[in-house]
Amino acid sequence: MRLREINRRELQALRKLREELGPDIDGAFKGRKVLIAPEGRREVFVASRRACRTLAAMGKEPYFAGLYIGEIRKGDFVLGLEGAALLGQEAKRVYVSDEAEQLVLYGRDVFSKSVTKVVGELQRGDRCLIVNSRSEVIGIGRFKGPREEVSIENILDRGWYLRSGR
């Protein structure tokens, strides 16, 4: 399986993420190359330039390289948890209480009373990172707005790995 640098169309899909998560996410990729597995799984990775030079010097075709950040599905970039962790301090994020952290890791949504801090301006429907009190990204959510009982819909969380049985 060959990895290649991301092309213009794929880069546009990745940049749509910036519109939702915040303009500062470009800094998370500074000094790194964005690579994609072009066939089949279309997974996206970021790797340091040094790692890319080392791979090129080895003359191998790796299955993956660097940090998995997400994948391209039907022309859209779907952010993965490690990609979210990489963006952690650059993106829109919602901090939750310790009690809510447990619930998020079990796949539950976040109620407005459990939100301790919001960083960035969130609009209804925006994706955001769900962060615990130690500033660790524990999930990705969709902002539902303050007037509803549930403020953040849990899209993907770190507990998923344990619940999926993989």
pLDDT in tens, 117-138: 999 888 888 889 999 999 999 9
What distance in Å separates the CA atoms of residue 133 and residue 143, rounded to the nearest whole number? 19
pLDDT class of 19 with cuts at 50, 70, 90: confident
Count other Cβ atoms within 10 Å, centred on residue 91: 26
For range 111-122, the mean pLDDT: 91
Sheet of strand 150-157: strand arrangement: 110-111, 150-157, 137-143, 127-131, 93-96, 115-119
Q: What is the share, in percent, of the chain residues with pLDDT greater than 70?
A: 93
Instruction: Give the single-character DSSP code of 38.
Output: T
The model's pTM: 0.82
- pLDDT tier, 166 (very low <50, low <70, confident <90, very high otherwise): low
